[in-house]
Amino acid sequence: MGHSLKRKEDARFIQGKGHYVDDIQLPGMLHMDIVRSPYAYAKIKSINAEEALKIPGVIAVVTGKDLEKYNLHWMPTLMSDTQMVLPTDTVMYQAQEVAAVIATDRYAARDGKEAVMVEYEPMKPVIDPYKSLDPDAPVLRTDKEGKKDNHIWHWEVGDKEATEKLFNEAEVVVKEQMHIPRIHVSSIETCGCVADYDKINNHLTMYMTTQAPHAIRTVIALVAGHVGLTEEKVRVVSPDIGGGFGGKVPVYPGYVIAIAVSFLVGKPVKWVEDRSENLQADSFARDYHITAEMAGTKDGKILGTRFKILADHGYTDAAANPSKFPTGMFSIGTGSYDYQTTFMEADAVYTNKPPGGVAYRCSFRVTEAVHAIERITDRFALEIGKDPAQLRMENFIKKEDFPWKSPTGWEYDSGDYHAGLKKAMEVVGYDELRKEQAEKRKRGELMGIGISTFTEIVGAGPSKDFDILGIKMFDSAEIRVHPTGKAIARFGTKSQGQGHETTYAQIIAEELGIPAEHIQVEEGDTDTAPYGLGTYASRSTPTAGAAAAVAARKLRDKARKIAAYLLEVSEDDLEWEPGKFFVKGAPEKSKTIQEIVFAAYTNHPQGMEAGFEATHYYDPPNLTFPSGAYICVVDVDKDTGEIKVRRFVAIDDCGNIINPMIVQGQVHGGLTQGIAPAMYEELVYDEDGNILNGTFMDYLVPTAVESPSWETGHTVTPSPHHPIGAKGVGESPTVGAPPAIANAIVDALAPYGITHLDIPITPYKVWKALREKGAN
């Protein structure tokens, strides 16, 4: 623990030997390309594949009508809504799959795609989510019997009446309307698969870019069981994954079509998206319109909050949230502050946009919640003229008040928010910066300092509350130690770069005393790995990491029994130190873990089960609540609106740290995915539903030039309920960074009476705001 072990997985990646889906080449493999809709909403009048089928190498063109014969033209989403695999009559968003071209190589498939003629009858789409609820808006989901509007669900939490009363009577009330934009995870590897159906054995091997292979296997069996693909006949293999960030949790139509085609022709079928397909059609993240309000006293006591959300889900609710939580963990939005009155409500609507609502390196809508609370907290500070750091210090939940019950029902496990912010302020030199800012303001120069002190909620989750499609959100570890003391450990999670092969080995090494380099970690093959819900929402360390520790402890218990037998003493006479048991008071009488394991296969006590293996399915008693204190310093060019992030200090608290190097790496990466939506990224649609930035030319993923040199640090407040006191960290920075950046920019502009700007805050937006205030 706490050791920056270099990563075991790196050797293959730095030598070009990573093994990703597109690297798979099977004998006789066919290639699939997908014809997509140019319209956001249209009737399909006809699909003519005649010319396409004339192209040498093109074998088939598959349409929704073909899939309908097998009842495979619709599939369930993770939120129990339904989604078209291929349409039979209507397209619901631009870039929706319309037909699939199957060919002997990718060039022929691409030519075939160009040659498929589709006749459409365009209809007026619903793009603005607010207009989606107008009484005269067309009802989009006519496939749903009796559906009379575009409303999907309503959700609320908190005390509506008490909150109304508080807001009516409070000394100070601030309010801002915010949009958390529709963004895209854009892992550098797009999504894809090779579906390999073996007709003779009636067996499907599905190689795919998935963060949750087991859940996918179950979904395939649920969708295709009726044609013979029952769960024991399906093997899902998730090879190396080139980044996931939530975008590789859902089941996309392309996967299902590939399976259907392989099933029908009996050959392997490869489908790998282009970047533009990935950006335009795969699940988006965020897209919450939030009205945020805070009530408090003139001297700065936060008394309550109120949040009203309109969620734009596109044409189907394909969010990846636990079943009971349609807004994910948005209810963490009361934040790091000690008050008990809140009311939150959300309504979700259909529009003619791609479906989704996945994370973007974020635990189930926490980013939206944190943005709302951290922005409105700053707004409150601005309103009453109090330093935002001071205001936060005065309102934080105190260290000694944990476990702390939030007004929305969570029990925060542990935290020391004062320590985090204090450290961040020291590292950045907060007081000096405020002095510099005051000087600059006198000269008319724009400099801003922004703070975000967030509480995350990760590690889903306790099975009493958390499931996806009914499957409980536990996770698993299986450890097998071979006779010579070397081990293989398998998990239900799936790394997409998080370094599981190293950190899990370190956890087991810590518990069992076997060196990490002797522990081989495997994930991603449903034939061998124990069942688990996969890697997303920063849940791997909180769940599978815990499972590894518990499974290792089971083995240690067995080791104690064997050691007692070998040393001919009672178990109670033995003491453990990493790597061996020794007799109390006689340390020279000891057995190493390697000797004990060897005995488990060669000389185990009579009546004891032979071998040295353990499996554990870990069902966490609570979620974990990592936190962070981030401070951002910006300089703004008044004439052009350009923003320079001069400093960014991130102090994270993710409990006990297994590998500081990997934790810091996660923080760096998350911060860049934090600045991305704060200043660069947004999927933009025009009023006809055309995407205006569907390639990397215009969807602005930050490079090393835009990404600042991050300054990182940590405090340690262990989770009291996690076996090794860890909390999870992969997403904290993505959650915490955007409000710090937005607060810094708004702080820079505050002298001109600007109180809020929606992210992404671009030079253009800044310049416009200054223009309206007559500043340039």
Partner 1 sequence: MKKQITISVNGEKHTLEVEPRELLVHVIREKLRLTGTHIGCDTTSCGACTVLLNGKSIKSCTVLAIQADGKEVSTVEGLATAEGLHPLQEGFKENHGLHCGFCTPGMLMRAVELLEHNDNPTEEEIRWGIAGNLCRCTGYNNIVKAIQYASAKMRGEETPSTEPEFV
Partner 2 sequence: MIPATFDYAAPASLEEAFSLLEQHGDEAKILAGGHSLIPMMKLRFASPEFLIDINNIPGLAHIKEEDGYLKIGALAREADLEHSELIRSKYPIFMDATKLIADPQVRNMGTVGGNIAHGDAANDHPAVMMALRAEVVISSAEGQRTVPIDEFFYGFYMTAVQPNEILTEIRIPVPGAGTGNAYHKMERKVGDYATAGVAVQLTLDGDGVCTYAGIGLTNVNPVPLRAARSEEVLVGHKLDEERIELAGQYASEDCNPSTDLRGDEEYKRAMVKVLTKRMINKAIERAKS
The residues carrying an active-site annotation are: 211, 361-362, 731
Chosen from partner 1, partner 2, none, partner binding at 577 (C-beta under 5 to 8 Å by type): none
- Cβ at position 240, least distance to partner 1 in Å: 7
Kindly report the number of other CB atoms within 10 A of residue 317's CB atom.
24
Stretch that binds partner 1, among 82-90, 170-178, 494-502, 685-693 (CB under 8 A): 494-502
Closest CA to 675 of 629, 642, 710, 626: 710
Please tell me whether residue 664 binds partner 1 under the rule CB under 8 A: yes
Q: How many CA atoms lie within 13 A of 636 on its CB side?
A: 34
CA angle at 104 for the pair 101 and 110, rounded to the nearest 5°: 45
Q: Enumerate the H helices of 396-542 as residue ranges.
A: 417-428, 430-442, 500-512
Please tell me whether residue 695 binds partner 1 under the rule CB under 8 A: yes
Closest CA to 539 of 368, 730, 319: 730
Stretch that binds partner 1, among 292-300, 310-318, 573-581, 656-664 (CB under 8 A): 656-664
Chosen from partner 2, partner 1, none, partner binding at 12 (C-beta under 5 to 8 Å by type): partner 1
Chosen from partner 2, partner 1, none, partner binding at 168 (C-beta under 5 to 8 Å by type): none
Peptide bond into 403 cis (omega under 30): yes
Please tell me whether residue 663 binds partner 1 under the rule CB under 8 A: yes
Chosen from partner 1, partner 2, none, partner binding at 768 (C-beta under 5 to 8 Å by type): partner 2
In the complex with partner 2, the residue whose CB is nearer, 232 or 698, is 698
In the complex with partner 1, the residue whose CB is nearer, 661 or 750, is 661
Distance CA 354, CA 81 (A): 14
CA distances from 83 to 144, 208, 513, 603, 745 (A): 11, 19, 49, 57, 40
Contacts of partner 2 in 109-138 (CB under 8 A): 110-111, 114
Contacts of partner 1 in 74-113 (CB under 8 A): 106-107
The radius of gyration of the chain from alpha carbons, rounded to an integer in Å, stands at 27
- Tell which one of 25, 168, 201, 703 touches partner 2 (CB under 8 A): 703
> Residue 682 — left, alpha, or beta (φ > 0 → left; ψ -120 to 50 → alpha)?
beta
- Tell which one of 18, 57, 122, 763 touches partner 2 (CB under 8 A): 763
Stretch that binds partner 2, among 334-342, 401-409, 426-434, 700-708 (CB under 8 A): 700-708
Contacts of partner 2 in 48-107 (CB under 8 A): 106-107
CA distances from 663 to 461, 652, 672, 714 (A): 21, 10, 15, 10
In the complex with partner 1, the residue whose CB is nearer, 14 or 200, is 14
Distance CA 404, CA 121 (A): 57
Contacts of partner 2 in 625-654 (CB under 8 A): 639-640, 642
Please tell me whether residue 57 binds partner 1 under the rule CB under 8 A: no
Contacts of partner 2 in 225-284 (CB under 8 A): 274, 276
Distance CA 513, CA 592 (A): 9
- Cβ at position 766, least distance to partner 2 in Å: 10
Please tell me whether residue 18 binds partner 1 under the rule CB under 8 A: yes
Chosen from partner 2, partner 1, none, partner binding at 762 (C-beta under 5 to 8 Å by type): partner 2
Distance CA 289, CA 292 (A): 10
Cα 702 → chain centroid: 19
In the complex with partner 2, the residue whose CB is nearer, 109 or 508, is 109
- Cβ at position 711, least distance to partner 1 in Å: 8
Distance CA 714, CA 626 (A): 11
Distance CA 421, CA 377 (A): 15
In the complex with partner 2, the residue whose CB is nearer, 186 or 218, is 186
Asked if residue 653 lies in contact with residue 421, where contact means CB atoms within 8 angstroms, the answer is no
Tell me, residue by residue from 669 to 698, as one string, x for binding to partner 2 by CB under 8 A and - for no binding. -----------x---x-------xx---xx
State the residues that interact with partner 2 by CB under 8 A: 106-107, 110-111, 114, 274, 276, 639-640, 642, 680, 684, 692-693, 697-698, 700, 702-703, 705-706, 762-764, 767-768, 771, 776
